[in-house]
Amino acid sequence: MTGLTSRSIAKAPATAATPQYDRNACGVGIVHLGLGAFHKAHQAFYTDAALAAEGGDWKIIGVSMRNEQVAADFNAQDGLFTILEKGNDGAKAQIIGSIDHAVCARTQPEQVLDALCDANVRVVTTTVTEKGYGIDRATGGLDLSNPVIAQDLTRDSAPVGVIGLIVTALARRRTRGIAPFTVLCCDNLPENGTFLRAGLIDFANRYDTDLGQWIADTVACPSSMVDRITPAQTADTRALAQELTGSEDVLAIETESFHQWVIEDNFPTGRPAWDAAGAIFTNDVAAYEKMKLRLLNGSHSLIAYMGQLLGKQYVRDVMADPCLEAIVRRHLEEVSATLPALPDIDLPQYRADLIARFRNPNIAHETLQIASDGSEKMPQRIFAPAADAIAHNLSIQSGAFATAVWMWYCKRGGKGMDDRAINDPRADLLRAAAQGDTPDEILSAFERMPGLFPKELSESPAWRKSVLGVLGDLAENPIEQVVETTFGRIS
Ligand code: CS2
Look at residues 483, 489, 461 and name the one whose alpha carbon lies nearest to residue 470: 483
pLDDT bin (cut points 50, 70, 90) of residue 419 is low
How far is C-alpha 359 from the chain's CA centre?
Answer: 20
Q: What is the pLDDT of residue 418?
A: 62
Ligand 1 centre distance from Cα of residue 118 (Å): 32
For the residues of 245-279, what is the DSSP string, one character each? HSSB-TT-EEE-S--EEEEE---TT----GGGGT-
Ligand 1 centre distance from Cα of residue 226 (Å): 9
* Helix (H/G/I), strand (E/B), else coil: 119: coil
Q: Which residue has the least CA distance to atom 10 on ligand 1?
A: 229
Q: What is the pLDDT of residue 484?
A: 85
pLDDT in tens, 332-371: 999 999 999 888 899 999 999 999 999 999 999 999 999 9
Q: Is 227 in the pocket of ligand 1 (CB under 6 A)?
A: yes
16 pLDDT above the threshold of 90: yes
How far is C-alpha 291 from the chain's CA centre?
Answer: 15
Q: Which residue has the least CA distance to atom 13 on ligand 1?
A: 227
Q: Which residues lie below 8 Å from residue 29, measured CB to CB, with a gap of 6+? A: 56, 57, 58, 59, 120, 121, 122, 123, 270, 272
Q: Is 376 in the pocket of ligand 1 (CB under 6 A)?
A: no
Q: Is 381 in the pocket of ligand 1 (CB under 6 A)?
A: no
Q: What is the pLDDT of residue 151?
A: 97
Say how far apart CA 197 and CA 271 lie, in whole Å: 19
Pocket test of ligand 1: the residue of 253, 300, 315 to mutate, having most ligand atoms within 8 Å of its CB, is: 300
Ligand 1 centre distance from Cα of residue 213 (Å): 34
Ligand 1 centre distance from Cα of residue 352 (Å): 18
Q: Is 300 in the pocket of ligand 1 (CB under 6 A)?
A: yes
Q: Is 370 in the pocket of ligand 1 (CB under 6 A)?
A: yes
Atom of ligand 1 nearest to the CA of 370: 3
Atom of ligand 1 nearest to the CA of 300: 6
More confident residue, 420 or 130: 130
207: left (phi over 0), alpha (psi -120 to 50) or beta: alpha
Mean pLDDT of 209-213: 98
Percent of the chain with pLDDT over 90: 93
Least confident interval from 80-89, 111-120, 293-302: 80-89
Residue 178 has what DSSP assignment? P
Pairing of strands 90-96, 81-87: antiparallel
Q: Which residue has the least CA distance to atom 1 on ligand 1?
A: 370
Atom of ligand 1 nearest to the CA of 228: 13
Q: What is the pLDDT of residue 54?
A: 96
Ligand 1 centre distance from Cα of residue 461 (Å): 31
Ligand 1 centre distance from Cα of residue 48 (Å): 22
Ligand 1 centre distance from Cα of residue 2 (Å): 33
Q: What is the pLDDT of residue 88?
A: 82
Atom of ligand 1 nearest to the CA of 227: 13
Q: Which residue has the least CA distance to atom 9 on ligand 1?
A: 229
Ligand 1 centre distance from Cα of residue 386 (Å): 20
* Helix (H/G/I), strand (E/B), else coil: 87: strand
Q: Is 188 in the pocket of ligand 1 (CB under 6 A)?
A: yes
Percent of the chain with pLDDT over 70: 98
Q: What is the pLDDT of residue 485?
A: 80
Amino acid at 106: R
Atom of ligand 1 nearest to the CA of 230: 9
Q: What is the pLDDT of residue 356?
A: 97
90 pLDDT above the threshold of 70: yes
Residue 379 has what DSSP assignment? I
Ligand 1 centre distance from Cα of residue 370 (Å): 7
Say how far apart CA 375 and CA 372 lie, in whole Å: 9
Q: Is 366 in the pocket of ligand 1 (CB under 6 A)?
A: no
Residues forming a β-bridge with 280: 262
Q: Is 360 in the pocket of ligand 1 (CB under 6 A)?
A: no
pLDDT bin (cut points 50, 70, 90) of residue 102 is very high
Q: How far is CA 123 from CA 75, 161, 220, 260, in A?
A: 21, 18, 10, 19
Query: Would you say 26 and 58 are in contact if contact means Cβ atoms under 8 Å apart?
Result: yes
Query: Would you say 121 and 30 are in contact if contact means Cβ atoms under 8 Å apart?
Result: yes
pLDDT in tens, 247-289: 999 999 999 999 999 999 999 999 999 999 899 999 999 999 9
Pocket test of ligand 1: the residue of 127, 188, 258, 409 to mutate, having most ligand atoms within 8 Å of its CB, is: 188
Q: Phi and psi for 484 in degrees, rounded to 5?
A: -65, -45
Atom of ligand 1 nearest to the CA of 365: 9
Q: Phi and psi for 61 in degrees, rounded to 5?
A: -95, 120
Q: Is 228 in the pocket of ligand 1 (CB under 6 A)?
A: yes
138 pLDDT above the threshold of 90: no
pLDDT bin (cut points 50, 70, 90) of residue 420 is low
pLDDT in tens, 156-203: 999 999 999 999 999 999 999 999 999 999 999 999 999 999 999 999
Say how far apart CA 151 and CA 130 lie, in whole Å: 19
Atom of ligand 1 nearest to the CA of 369: 3
Q: What is the pLDDT of residue 487?
A: 75
Mean pLDDT of the chain: 96
* Helix (H/G/I), strand (E/B), else coil: 227: strand
**Domains of the chain in sequence order:** 8-282 (3.40.50.720), 286-487 (1.10.1040.10)
404 pLDDT above the threshold of 90: yes
Q: What is the pLDDT of residue 288?
A: 96
Say how far apart CA 20 and CA 102 lie, in whole Å: 21
Say how far apart CA 241 and CA 307 lie, in whole Å: 29
Q: Which residue has the least CA distance to atom 4 on ligand 1?
A: 370
Amino acid at 453: F
- Residue 289: count other Cβ atoms within 10 Å of its Cβ: 22
